[in-house]
Structure 1
Amino acid sequence: MAPAAATGHIAGVVYVDRNGNRKQDQDEAASDVGLMITGNGAEHRTTTDADGEFSFRDLAPGAYKATYHLDDQWTVHVVNVDGDPIKVEPNKTAQVVARGERPYAEQFSVTGSLDRDSYRMPATATVTLAFTNYTNNKISNIRARCDHKSSPKALGRGKNWNALTTNGVSLAPGERRTITVDEEVPEGAGRAGIVTLDCTFAPNPDLNLGLWTRATAKVTSSTNYAMVVGEDKNADDLIGPDEAVSGVTVVLLNEQTGFRASEGTSGTDGRIEFFNVGAGTYRAVVLGPWGLRDAGQERVVVTGQGGFGHVFLKQASPADVRASIKLDKQRYDAHETVGLELTITNVGGRTAEQVGLRSMLTEIDVPEEQWGDFRWSNRAGIRLAAGESRTFDVSGRIETLVDGRLVIAGEVGYLGQPDNDDGRFHAEAEVVETRGVITGVVYTDKNGNGQQDEGEAAPGVLVEAAGGATHGYHETTTDANGAFTFVDVSSGAYWLTYQLADDWIVHDEANPEQVWVGPAAPTRLTVRADRPYSELIEATMTFGKDTYMIGETAEVTITLKNVSDRRLSGVQARCNPLGHQDQLGGGYRKVTPEGWGDLRQEAAGVALGPGESKTVTVTEPVPAHARFKQRVAVGCSFAPNAKDNTDGPWALDIASVLVGVGAVQGRLAHDRNKNGVVDRGEALTGVRVLLLTDREYGLQVADTVSGTDGTVRFDRMPTGDFWAGVDGVWKFEGESGRVEVKLDEVAQRDFFVVPNPRAQPPGTGSTGSTGGGALAKTGASVLGLGVVAVLLVVFGFGARVAGRRTRP
């Protein structure tokens, strides 16, 4: 018999630091504090005694995270970036001192403001941050966590923020300090028409609740579609100066998806500018008391060069959507299914756009598919013509009661909805409480065959059940046969959890976390406990390269091995659980990117036979936020149903991110059909391509040879405008050879060339300029003249100056 694995222990004390001297004094012990530690796929709970002391015994070695629940908003702040893990070692006791302090909102304040109400691109915003320390103690390492939703229109990502995002600010007792940060307004703000400052401040703000500061300003950028709106009073199909209408808001909706693309409001001349609207077809929606005179004018086509149009208006009442709800009964038993009809009617004078539920109904369990496009998660919603009504017949079981009654309340929203129109609907019904029984057996599947065998019963398991229409909580312990029963519990949905010894885990894909209870028959459960997936699966993960650039597509090779003797299905990745913006794989409240294929939590997962290994390569662009730490990371656990099963093996890797330079990547091709796309047979292989500082007399900065599929790439380039040239029988036409290199980005573009009639066939020994025949093969490359050009640019002479020389 194998010897039992050595375990470790945790012992500690919790106190509230009332006098702020950072040590425990008399009467500061925090008694009766509930606390929980998590680690190695398990949770452990206890409560502090009268002296504020606690302990956990016989823990598997590893790192544990502690959570404390103190009264009166006292908080144990997390000091370390890694989350203050408690390290448990075999045959040792880890000592913990948890100091409770007041929330940071009571210790200091911070306000943020922008120097302007509006910016015109390109622009630089000056952010002013004012800090005040209200305490008699020094507060150290206050850092900023900005743009927490990765919004492309938000500030807080520039290099000038490093002092706030990396080093932190320290405030002396009672100190007031003002800090200014200059940052270029991001391109995304130009597309959105608004720039935002949205930051939280705290020591270790990723894990501690900090202080929010927000500010916004309008942004105007390069216009690629413009519209003049007016009332054609003299019916001459023109908009004269006295016919323009100001203050009219028009929204462009993508014709295919229904989502908002841009929005603008007319000025005194009736002109509306829409910024950075992509080429495509849109539907123009006029808000307020005006409508389109002609229905055909709602269709707006934006080309690659933008566009312009006149729109004739007429007075029209706006859309006005009303909602009413009707239940199929006035009285229900708590276990019954509720049927309801929700009727929406547009009593206004124009079509209502993006009509839908504003939030999910939580009182009854209605599957989203019953709502269709009207569901709350579909922001495109539905269209509802003037005078049109639609009725949705849905049903679901009761989840929540209010004072013993079913109270269904919700809201309907639509585009342009006035602030005083909340679109609410409301219905109530009596509910008769019914009761039922939950019974089951818990076993440990030691041989992994998916069924209970002799000797596998799990006694002494803590089983917790929370839910029911009355939201009750129940707990019990399994008997010697692994059996448990909850008698006379309120009908409804229950969530069950199980705490087993020796790291056995009840996985969610085999045992539903939510069960329904009714009076007709007991809800019977057979609960299978398994070993942690970290014992069943081995995982490794490596980046394809050591160094990347912002926006470049990173390849990550993941190898998974099933070290058990049974088949594992549906293995997925759970990455970046804290939602760090410099990590790959999605993460907290983010969808796993498409490039992760079958490992996405939205996909079917990967199947592994007994002892089988599989290698999967996933792809994802390097995020912009990686420039701040100059690295990109990927860290994931792997398990079936990885969203809920967090006990899978972890794998991680880190790659450097090159900043301060740029890169260019694309394909070299002859666009025979002039469609702007590299079609089959158009890529050119083995052609030497150079980047020059000037089209005619430029200094060579770099060169390369197109690959088998026409691939061309230039790395470690200085930023600025360059010109491409080619060797041989090809040439660039007009502006097609212009190349823009952006800071910290990989510019993706294709290089289209045409035959050069002035060039002689290969082998004749003829050479020529970039505008005529073949390029002179001087031997210069990024290791020769290219280095000179780079240095000249770096030291401020600019790419064009670096290449300038006297014409012959």
Structure 2
Amino acid sequence: MFGSARRGLLIAVALTAALAGTAHAEEPAAPVGARLAISASVAGGPYLVGAKIPIELTITNSGDADAVGVRAGSFPVSGSTLLISAQDWGPLSNGHSSGPAPTVPAGGHYTATINAVVGLFTGTPVARFYTAVTDVDTATTDLTVPLIDPATGTDTVGGLIYGDVDRDGVPDPGEGIEGVELVLHAISGIKLAKTDASGRFRFDDLSLQVYSLRLEDVPGGWFFHPTFIDAVADGTGRAADLKVRGVRPFSEQLSATMKFTKYVYDVGDPAEVALAMTNNGTTDLTGVKAFCLHRPDNEDPGAGLDHVDLGALSAGVDVPVGQTRTFTITGTVPPGTLDGGFVSHVCYLGLADDPTAGNPVVTADARVPATPDDLSVVLYHDEDLTPLPSEKLAGVTIGVVDVASGELVAKGRSDADGRVTFEDLPAAPYQFRVYGPWKFVREGGTFYPGPCRYCPSGEYQLSLVPGPEVHEEQVEVVPPPTTTPVVPTADPAPQPRPGPGLADTGADVLGLTALGALALLLGSATTLAARRTRVA
């Protein structure tokens, strides 16, 4: 009896132990999440101060969860500081990124090459690189970069500045340009020189590093691109005989006009731009391209075309000597054009192999119906572009010109505070003309109805100085179009028409009805293109 009981007890203990072991074996391991490591390496070297230093970063995730939104950064540990711009960091940029931060999957890795530079030598650089991810432990690694001490030798930067008269790409006798001012830049300071009668220059006894050579005040209208040139002073003399080529501005040979084929569009409309190019030179032009800025800067209240198709101009076209050829650019009017009441298109025209050699710039503008607003400006007798309250000008008459049509659409006389307000102008870009013995200190510029978003007072400020007498009838007014314009199918709301004469404190709108304001686009518009920087 006792034996049987004992055997049952032993069996029960064995079963319990087996079950416990099975349960323990099947218990899942606790998750660890993302677990990052970072490594950094630099190939080659030693490098010069001012030279680009390619650094390869590898971020590895040995954890069991993806690392989402991975950023990285660095700081100096000792020696010279590595300078890495946000653009060079790319998607890894910690604080300002050129794109979404990458994800490093569980068990995977992410590799990127970034460019660093040392601006000032204070010893061999040692930098610490790190990761920055929310709720993930920071990983770090140190990197020593081999660097040449600039004080270990000297070198010369020199060469020839020449104007390539025959455009053969090499300097010929007599092509050297005398009197070009040059500035040699380094973090430690600058050095100045000027070319001699043969166009040559020279900087001696330079410490070893990469310099930036800049050309200033080039006589004769020669065009150089780029105007900054890297000069490598590494002790071998490789930068002692640089050849810096200038060309005549392409705009001397090629002239162009551009206009929309309609002067008014609604948002979403397809739009066509007609571009006419004339070869005024002595040789045929081949491979002429259009480099267009589809959208102006965000600060500009207008907007460019969407979905632009340059047609043949994207591949390059031929323009024979003495001929004018016309090409069509198409696109779509985007919603952003309602902010300024106009759509704009800007193109630089140049050769396929030299897209920025003094190219002609053409601009086209057309209207997009938008809410009218007031345009207010204060006039000052101010020579240094720093207007003071005591410099306000009363009794000066100015006119408003529609950029798209070139028509004078309004005139007004400044009140005792120098202010002129043009009421209920259709949303569009405008320019000012001044009458009487005055001229603008800075000509040009484009102005928009509504508050000036960049002016402390919310009003535009214009500085004037005495100039040649300009009578009102001498102000150039573009005549009305001689062809029937294309207008929207829906009639716009009529605008009020003021009575004749000039008010002392207000504006006289000249024929500014809705249809009168929508004038045909003639010639190239004068909207400033310098603020537009996104090139197709």
Structure 1 length as normaliser, TM-score?
0.35
Normalized per residue, the structure richer in strand is 1
Where relative contact order (Cα < 8 A, 6+ residues apart) is larger, the structure is: 2
Structure 2 length as normaliser, TM-score?
0.50
